[in-house]
Chains A and B, each alone.
Chain A
Amino acid sequence: MIVELGHFALVLALALALVQSVLPLIGARVGDARLMETGSTTALGGFVMLALAFAALTHAYVVSDFSVLNVAENSHSAKPLLYKITGVWGNHEGSMLLWVLILSFFGALVALFGRDLPASLKANVLSVQAWITVAFLLFILLTSNPFARLDPPPFEGNDLNPILQDIGLAIHPPMLYLGYVGFSIAFSFAVAALIDGRIDAAWARWVRPWTLVAWVFLTAGIAMGSYWAYYELGWGGWWFWDPVENASFMPWLSGTALLHSALVMEKRSALKIWTVLLAILTFSLSLLGTFLVRSGVLTSVHAFATDPTRGVFILGILCVFVGGSLALFALRASSLEGGGLFAPISREGALVFNNLFLTTACATVLIGTLYPLVLEVTTGAKISVGPPFFNLTFGPLMLPLLFAVPFGPLLAWKRGDLLGAAQRLYFAAGAAFVAVLFVMAITQGAAILSALGVGLAVWLMIGSFVDLWGRASFAKAGFSNALRRLAGLPRSVFGTAIAHFGLGATLLGIVAVGAFGTETVTTMAPGQTVHAGGWGVRFEGLAPRDGPNFTEEVGRFTILDGTSEAGRIESARRLYTARQQPTTEAGISTHLFSQVYVALGDAVANGGQTVVRIWTKPLVTLIWLGCVAMAIGGLVSLSDRRLRIGAPARAKRRGGRPIAEPAE
Chain B
Amino acid sequence: MSRRLRSVALGAALVLAPVTPAWLVLAATPAIAVEPGEELADPALEARARALSAGLRCLVCQNQSIDDSDAALAKDLRLLVRERLAAGDSDREVIDYLVSRYGEFVLLNPRLHWTTLALWGAPVVLLLAGGLFAVATVRRRAAEARNPALTAEEEKAVDAVLKERGL
Contact = CB atoms under 8 A, between A and B. Distances in A.
A289 B17 CA distance: 11
B142 A343 contact: yes
A522 B105 contact: no
A602 B31 contact: yes
B73 interface: no
A24 B68 CA distance: 54
Contact of A384 (B21, B24, B107): B107
Contact of B134 (A172, A234, A303, A352): A352
B108 A385 contact: yes
Contacts of B90: none
Contacts of A298: 13, 22
Given A293-B18, A383-B110, A523 B138 contact: no
A221 B141 CA distance: 40
B1 to A, nearest CB: 13
A523 B57 contact: no
Contacts of B21: 229, 240, 242-245
A235 B14 contact: no
Given A161-B25, A363-B122, A382-B103, A296 B14 contact: yes
B105 A382 contact: yes
B119 A299 contact: no
A634 interface: no
Interface in A334-350: 341-344, 349
Interface residues of B, number: 59
A92 interface: yes
A233 B18 contact: no
Given A360-B130, A581-B28, A341 B141 contact: yes
Most buried by A among B118, B119, B122, B145: B119
B158 interface: no
B108 A384 contact: yes
A240 to B, nearest CB: 6
Given A173-B17, A248-B18, A356-B131, A384 B29 contact: no
B30 interface: yes
B35 A363 contact: no
A403 to B, nearest CB: 15
Interface residues of A, number: 83
A202 interface: no
B115 interface: yes
A367 interface: yes
Interface stretch (A145-153, A386-394, A430-438): A386-394
Contacts of B65: 386-387
Interface string A608-642: 00010100000000000000000000000000000
A593 interface: no
A176 B17 contact: yes
Contacts of B104: 381-384
Given A229-B20, A235-B32, A384-B108, A299 B138 contact: no
Contact of A289 (B18, B28, B138): B18
A176 B19 contact: yes
A601 B31 contact: yes
Contacts of A225: 17, 19-20
A299 B18 contact: no
A599 B32 contact: yes
Contact of A173 (B18, B57, B106): B18
A28 interface: no
A242 B130 contact: no
Interface in B1-45: 9-10, 12-25, 27-36, 39
Contacts of B9: 299
B18 A176 contact: yes
A608 B35 CA distance: 18
A233 B20 CA distance: 11
A611 B135 CA distance: 58
Nearest to A353: B134
Contact of A299 (B13, B39, B110): B13
Contacts of A221: 19
Interface in B103-126: 103-110, 115-116, 118-120, 122-123, 126
Nearest to A94: B15
A371 interface: yes
A226 B24 CA distance: 12
A347 to B, nearest CB: 13
A25 interface: no
A537 interface: no
B165 to A, nearest CB: 35
Given A222-B19, A296-B14, A386-B63, 17 more contacts: A164-B16, A173-B18, A176-B19, A242-B21, A242-B63, A244-B22, A383-B105, A384-B110, A385-B110, A386-B57, A386-B109, A387-B65, A521-B34, A521-B35, A582-B28, A600-B31, A611-B35
26 contacts: A89-B17, A172-B17, A226-B19, A229-B21, A229-B24, A242-B21, A243-B63, A247-B18, A248-B18, A296-B10, A296-B14, A299-B13, A300-B10, A352-B134, A363-B122, A364-B122, A364-B126, A382-B103, A388-B54, A389-B110, A397-B123, A521-B34, A521-B35, A582-B28, A584-B31, A602-B31
Interface of A: 74, 89-92, 95, 161, 163-164, 169, 172-173, 176, 180, 221-222, 225-226, 228-229, 232-235, 237, 240, 242-245, 247-248, 289-290, 293-294, 296, 298-300, 303, 341-344, 349, 352, 356-357, 359-360, 363-364, 367-368, 371, 375, 379, 381-389, 392-393, 397, 521-523, 581-584, 599-602, 611, 613
Shortest beta-carbon contacts, A-B, top 4: A386-B108, A242-B21, A388-B109, A225-B19
